[in-house]
Structure 1
């Protein structure tokens, strides 16, 4: 159980004990920095709950076979995700290593995207489904080429498949709702009350991005969860979850792994041993075209311009919403480091800064504001509040 969760021993021990002793709560919140293993752990909780035998990683019961490839119908995953970098890196592993494991990595990375289009989540929305149905079907066809028993693609066919698959996955990811809609939560509520031979697992990624109406609908479910239905919410920041929701969740904190641990994970999973990347985050950001350390440098310059009242400071060019979030993550990390290095700590000032940053992210990801305009407003708001 949890053999694939690396360098989170405390959490693994707690979750293993709770599952083994049937003490696992039905409502959980996994909190931690990006790439600390939250989603992988949530998925593994689902597999352990549904396993009919030992719950070892190599268990061959039917439930585990389906679950390892994210094909079990008793698990739902919803919410935004950064799908393309993981899919690109998985295809890179496949291109370099002729192993069944590489096919598994590809299939699992793609399934993390396609599972967001489970028919139940889109029930009754024929007009929306019509827009992505052909794309989803195309991705599934590509996925068949990476079946564990399928012959290996030659180099020419692989390049053609990679190109078409990545194009389709990028288009398909655009149909994942930016914020979790209330209709999906209501459908989950109805589904969760239907009888089943298996436990049911609902994983909500980026839980802080729920619409108000969706959050209220979820609260009603969590007040008295149906028997044998488990809800796992995932977020990078506990403070972004409303207290009313927090009160109904047991919180599991995922500490950030050390640089050496992250390098080992890159080697063991993605066969990355160049030594170029100091973190899993840097490795995945590289697939977005970001050189290691780029956003950290931007964040430091931004912070210095605010502190030193630099008049002719040139704001960084953040071309997309993904880059905006990455920049803000580095900026918060920079402010937090400043807090640790300061003798006279201003906790209230730090909290104000965090709230300004959160509002900026909300304006871009939920209100669809232009990232460049939001960055400019953020700069001046932080200067005024320093």
Structure 2
């Protein structure tokens, strides 16, 4: 049985008592159990034990570090649940998108599906799963577009007798136009439709959207509860939290990204050739991109302290990085951003 925080149980009880509104917002920091709570509520509404239901849509990024963490466990049950989750994300994006790169990931999707149905996992299969997830992440644009919202609108008005659930993660990062399109649906959602939205930063969500949502504030669980849930989920006999467990995978990813960054900067500094980002393999997801920016910031500071660049160059470049951090959630083409960054660096 999944261990849920009290607030999640309150939300499910509100649904059972038929007093839950059709649009809610789960607000809280990372590792505050928002995703697990959203999934359990969705399964309750759809009367399903699994996530493989065509009446469930999940709009979220695929985090390759999260994938590595889940696939490193010895629990087939945990791996099955995780593959169900990412299959739903992929189904959602493929079904509701005019994505041009779908042909490129067809083999990856088929491989993940075949493994999921066979339910046999060894080290080689786990490594192949990670490679396939990484490739999907590289080719697929996970940002929600106005086109996606229009397709959602058509979808929710079909088969009105069936309950449907739409889970959108990090809604504060949606573009202005997407927020406006979503608002039109939230104004009068059909009775059979449930929107479960999640966010970390309430201040970035338009007030017009917030006014149509019941907000549930999630706090990070007490350490003992988190350890209890973690042990149940990952079957690891250690008194560590989910956050501490995931942090070990971020550390590993950070080392790899640091090596890639140094390699690129050396090429630029020595003016050997123009690097080819298609050959680099470090831009897995938003978290990897954030790590890359952090490492670049450290490198710039190091160059300044070692008198390799002057104060004007340092201030110019750090300001450029600050702007990227500020608008990072809205950037769709991370490779293009890094190309521009490196060209900027070359000018310094």
Q: TM-score, normalised by structure 1?
A: 0.66
- Once residues 16 and 33 of structure 2 are traced to their aligned partners in structure 1, the CA distance between those partners, rounded to angstroms, is 21
- RMSD over aligned CA atoms reads 3.2
Deviation of the 1:50 alpha carbon: 2.0
Q: Does 1:247 align with 2:247?
A: no
Pair 1:226–1:216, CA change in 2 (3 A): same
Match of 1:76 in 2: 57
**Unaligned 5+ runs, structure 1:** 52-63, 95-101, 147-151, 293-318, 330-356, 375-386
- Corresponding residue SS for 1:231: strand
Instruction: Report if aligned partners of 1:364, 1:371 keep a CA contact under 8 Å in 2.
Output: no
- Once residues 273 and 124 of structure 1 are traced to their aligned partners in structure 2, the CA distance between those partners, rounded to angstroms, is 42
1:238-279 CA-partner distances (Å, limit 9, x unpaired): 12212121111110111111222222222221122334x4x3
- Aligned counterpart in structure 2 of residue 14 of structure 1, from 10, 14, 19: 10
- Corresponding residue SS for 2:57: strand
Match of 1:204 in 2: 168
- Aligned counterpart in structure 2 of residue 161 of structure 1, from 113, 125, 139: 125
Deviation of the 1:76 alpha carbon: 0.4
Q: Does 1:129 align with 2:102?
A: yes
Deviation of the 1:182 alpha carbon: 1.3
Q: TM-score, normalised by structure 2?
A: 0.72
Q: Does 1:91 align with 2:71?
A: yes
- Once residues 162 and 30 of structure 1 are traced to their aligned partners in structure 2, the CA distance between those partners, rounded to angstroms, is 32
Deviation of the 1:223 alpha carbon: 0.6
Deviation of the 1:176 alpha carbon: 4.1
Match of 1:144 in 2: 117
Instruction: Report if aligned partners of 1:5, 1:40 keep a CA contact under 8 Å in 2.
Output: no
1:53-92 CA-partner distances (Å, limit 9, x unpaired): xxxxxxxxxxx24xx2x1011100013242x333323333
- Once residues 358 and 265 of structure 1 are traced to their aligned partners in structure 2, the CA distance between those partners, rounded to angstroms, is 37
Q: Does 1:117 align with 2:101?
A: no
Instruction: Report if aligned partners of 1:266, 1:273 keep a CA contact under 8 Å in 2.
Output: no
Match of 1:363 in 2: 327
1:338-363 CA-partner distances (Å, limit 9, x unpaired): xxxxxxxxxxxxxxxxxxx9965343
Pair 1:237–1:176, CA change in 2 (3 A): farther
- Once residues 329 and 35 of structure 2 are traced to their aligned partners in structure 1, the CA distance between those partners, rounded to angstroms, is 21
Of 239-248 and 12-21, the range deviating more from structure 2: 12-21
Where in structure 2 are the equivalents of 1:9-88 lying within 5 Å? 9=6, 11-51=7-47, 64-65=48-49, 68=50, 70-82=51-63, 84-88=64-68
Instruction: Report if aligned partners of 2:227, 2:242 keep a CA contact under 8 Å in 1.
Output: yes
Instruction: Report if aligned partners of 2:99, 2:140 keep a CA contact under 8 Å in 1.
Output: no
- Once residues 161 and 238 of structure 2 are traced to their aligned partners in structure 1, the CA distance between those partners, rounded to angstroms, is 47
Q: How many residues align?
A: 286
Instruction: Report if aligned partners of 2:156, 2:193 keep a CA contact under 8 Å in 1.
Output: yes
Q: Whose RCO is larger (CA < 8 A, sep 6+)? A: 2
Pair 1:222–1:119, CA change in 2 (3 A): closer
Q: Does 1:288 align with 2:250?
A: yes
Pair 1:117–1:291, CA change in 2 (3 A): closer
